[in-house]
Amino acid sequence: MDEQEESQPSAATEGIDGRVAEHQIREEGEQDVNGQTQARIESSPNFIGRHRMAAAMSHLHNQINIIQEELDLLETYGESSLVCKEVILSVESIPDPLLTETIGPVEISWDRWFKATNNSRSNKRWI
């Protein structure tokens, strides 16, 4: 797809006519299974401008800033046990029709799935 190629930045060598040849450098979009960014250089000559390279660098610098911000914020967060406590409190405070044991109040309408409807041929409950 053209758009894929557009977003791939490249290193450049000057060609005879002054245009720049491209050696493909894979970008953030090409990640291996560990999420590591690949920076392989392949020599497949193409001709693009230096601005493509600048865009790639800018993108990388954005990523560096974003990750650094997250690292800084991480220092202010507590351990996961604090969050786990919140989760239990939240779960146990809401009435749940699908549990065998739940806090109230219980709504009568929860059981509407087992009431005989006007269309049914008998008044038998479903189970």
Partner 1 sequence: MSVAELKERHLVATETVNNLKERLKQRRLALLDTDISGYSRSQGRTPVSFGPTDLVCCRTLQGHTGKVYALDWTTEKNRIVSASQDGRLIVWNALTSQKTHAIRLPCAWVMTCAFSPTGLSVACGGLDSVCSIFNLNSPTDRDGNMPVSRMLSGHKGYVSSCQYVPDEDTHLITSSGDQTCVLWDITTGLRTSVFGGEFQSGHTGDVLSVSINGSNSRMFVSGSCDGTARLWDTRVASRAVRTFHGHEGDVNAVKFFPDGNRFGTGSDDGTCRLFDIRTGHQLQVYSQQHADNDAPHVTSIAFSISGRLLFAGYSNGDCYVWDTLLAKMVLNLGSLQNSHEGRTRISCLGLSADGSALCTGSWDTNLKIWAFGGHRKVI
Subset of 96-115 contacting partner 1 (CB under 8 A): 96-104, 106-107, 109-114
- In this structure, are residues 44 and 24 in contact, taking their beta carbons and an 8 Å threshold? yes
Give the residue, chosen from 5, 14, 15, 45, that forms a contact with partner 1 under the rule CB under 8 A. 14
**HSE toward the beta carbon, residue 109, CA cutoff 13 A:** 0
Rounded (10°) CA dihedral 55, 57, 61, 66: 60
Min dist CB 110 to partner 1, Å, is 4
3-state secondary structure of 14: strand
Which residue, 47 or 83, has its beta carbon nearer to partner 1?
83
Which residues 59-78 are close enough to bind partner 1 by CB under 8 A?
Answer: 59-64, 66-68, 70-71, 74, 77-78
* Range 16-45, binding partner 1 (CB under 8 A): 20, 23, 25, 28-29, 31, 33, 35-37, 39, 41
Residue whose pair of structure tokens reads 């911000």 in the numeric block: 69
Shortest spacing between CB 114 and partner 1, in angstroms:
5
- Whether 98 and 91 have beta carbons less than 8 Å apart is answered as no
Q: How many CA atoms lie within 13 A of 100 on its CB side?
A: 0
Smallest separation, CB 64 to partner 1 (Å)? 6
